[in-house]
Structures are given as structure tokens and as C-alpha cells.
Amino acid sequence: MDNREEPGAAAEVDAGTGSGSASPDSDDEAGASGQSEMDFLRNLFSRTLGLGSEKPEKVLDELTLEGMSKFLLSEKCKKVVCMVGAGISTAAGIPDFRSPSTGLYANLQQYNLPYPEAIFEISYFKKHPEPFFALARELYPGQFKPTVCHYFIRLLKEKGLLLRCYTQNIDTLERVAGLGEEDLVEAHGTFFTSHCTSSWCRKSYSLDWMKEKIFSSLIPKCEKCQSVVKPDIVFFGENLPSRFFSLMQSDFCNVDLLIIMGTSLQVQPFASLIGRVPTNTPRLLINKEKTGESDPLMSLMGFGCGMDFDSEKAYRDVAWLGDCDEGCLALAELLGWKKELEELVREEHAAIDAKSGQAVGDGTGARSAPAKEGKQPRSPKKKCEED
């Protein structure tokens, strides 16, 4: 979902503080520690505000989609992380959240909410769960097919390039497209599982159980304690999954290419992930508009750590503007993967139609070939740099 927020989340900066000893013999150590902190802060200000004369290392032949494709095919690119939002699912018929006339928030009048975001606020849900479950019937997973974007990420996996896909979406289309639990960080939760909202119960329920309740127009109630059962999506006022925090540390220190698709990068802490990659890691944005650009104040707070597409100092960020599916097809063509991607989409959509009894023609069946032999896993890890 392109809309979760963590009001209490704050970026933590490890400034390399000393041990805290206050003995007279530690004056020299304290001085060294203080100098280390000053150096850290000086470097942080320099990187954030663009001060200093050092030019960043050139990492792309050219700041274009073609330059990105050459890098992706090179031996320098072994591990790719994707960050995706609601924009990659709009072609499946699922509305995004912020588009002025077609977005979800612009079309919630029928639910008589005090304000649009209330439908995803945990405090409002506990008192008035009816609007959320009515909306869930319209958007419930299983009614939509993955898009070209989803299958492009699947191809990255098959070619041994995908390190992880971090998604804001709750529609489970990444799973339908063939990504496994290990491939995914569902930053804003998922419909795939549900739990009782009672803190002392927390009984778990399956996707099929929740689906039956929702499409019977019933408010799902716990079979054990009769409290409301909620899908495991992250509402405003709830913590993000622990998997998000545990994996981002290693993933974003050890990534060769970051691909960002279909997200406004307006919601924290998800948006701050773009600033966690090493300074020599290229970042590709495929989106309807530019987003995530530098804001010195937010960068100092650890949020955003902005993209630089157009300045004289731009050296690694590329923006392809337009429909996300078209962007993935354009990139796939440059990579020599377009025919393979289009065939994958046809096969998988035919299999989904056949399974639901809507197959056209003979139906091709699910793609079952094993993952292709991709590039060998990278051996030395990159040193994670503060960005």
C-alpha cells in the first residue's frame, strides 16, 4: 500500500561515540572520540549539502535508461533491490492512492468517513471496522492479475539478479507473479495472513478464511474470543513488520542497483530506504513523475537522502517518466529480454484464467521452468556508506 506511515519512526545515526568512561585517564580517548564525531558530522554535512570539491566516482556510461541497461548487464551488477508502490498495480485495475480523480482517497465518499485516511487508521478501525471491510470486498486479492512490472521483477529473480523486492502494496500480486516469501519484504503488511486484534489472543487466520468472511458481508470475528480479526496489513498507528527493519540493514549495504517503481516516496520510513545504498550504487526511478529528489533538511534527518537527476553533480540517478509497465518494457527491450517478458506475461495470465475458469483458447498453463542460471553470487560485500 502506498500509504502507511510510522509517526514515531526516527532515523538513527551511528556517530561512533566512545565508551562513556569519565576517568581522568580517558581525556585523550575522549578527545579522539570528539574529533571522530566532528569528522562524521562534517562529512555528513558535506555529502548532504553538496559541499566540497571531490567529484563522485562515475558509475554509469550515461545517465539514461540505456546507460542503466548496460550497467545491469555488466559484471558490476550482481544484486538488484526493487522498491515498489501502488503505481505498479494500477494496470491491474487497482487504484493508487493519491491521483486526484482516480485515486482511492478521492473515491471514498460512500463510506461517510471523517477524512479519507481514516479508513486505514487503526483507532478508527477498532471503532468502525465496517468501511474497511466493505472496501476490502472491492480490492480483495485474487480478483486481479499481476502486471508487466510484477513479471519484470520475476525475471530479475529467474536470472539470479534479485536480492529483494520491498513493496508498499498489500494486494499480494508479487506473490501471484511468482516471488516467494524470501524474495519479499512486504513493508506495509499483507492480506495473506490475518490475526485477532485482541492483544491477549492474536489467533491467526488464513487468506481463504478471511475471504469467506469478507464476501459473506460479515465482519470477521475471532472464533476464540469474538474480537474483530484484521488482515495483517499495516494501518496508520501500527508498527511496520520486524522483517522490514531486520533485512534493510544488510540488503541496502550490499546492493549493486536500486530500481524504484510506482511510488510517490512520500511515506516514511519506506521512502528513506533510497538513501541507505552505497554512494556508488545507481538508482533508477520508473514513475509517472520525478520524486525522492534532494531536500537538505530531510536528508540531515535521515529521510529521503535525495535523488539527483538534473544537477551538474548528477552521476548515478536516472528517471524514466511514464507508465510503469511501459518503462519495464522499454528497459527489457534494451536488455534483450522483451520477448521473454511478454511471453511470461501471456503464459501466466493464461494460467490464471484457466484456474479461474475463464481461459481463452486452450490456455498455456503456468510457467514451470526452473530458474535460469544467472550470475554467480557476489563474493565480497560492499562497505556500507552513509548517504
Residues carrying an active site annotation: 188
Q: Provide the grid cell at 157.
A: 529473480
Rounded to 5 degrees, what are φ and ψ at 221?
A: -115, 145
Rounded to 5 degrees, what are φ and ψ at 107?
A: -130, 40
Distance CA 56, CA 66 (A): 21
Q: How many CB atoms lie within 10 A of CB 155?
A: 20
Distance CA 246, CA 164 (A): 13
Instruction: List Cα–Cα distances, 210 to 126, 175, 239, 246, 253, in angstroms.
Output: 17, 18, 22, 28, 37
Q: Provide the grid cell at 233.
A: 496489513
Q: Provide the grid cell at 152.
A: 519484470
DSSP-assigned beta bridge partners for residue 319: 285
Instruction: List Cα–Cα distances, 275 to 8, 270, 294, 374, in angstroms.
Output: 19, 10, 10, 28
**Sheet strand arrangement including 162-167:** 184-186, 162-167, 80-84, 257-261, 283-287, 317-321
Instruction: List Cα–Cα distances, 56 to 119, 304, 315, 377, in angstroms.
Output: 45, 19, 7, 26
Question: 485474487: which residue's cell?
Answer: 142
Helices (H), the chain: 27-49, 65-73, 122-127, 130-139, 148-158, 173-176, 207-215, 242-253, 296-300, 324-335, 338-355
DSSP-assigned beta bridge partners for residue 233: 189
Distance CA 323, CA 167 (A): 18
**What is the helix (H) or strand (E) element at residue 205, kind and residue range?**
strand 204-206
Distance CA 3, CA 12 (A): 22
Q: Provide the grid cell at 302.
A: 535521515
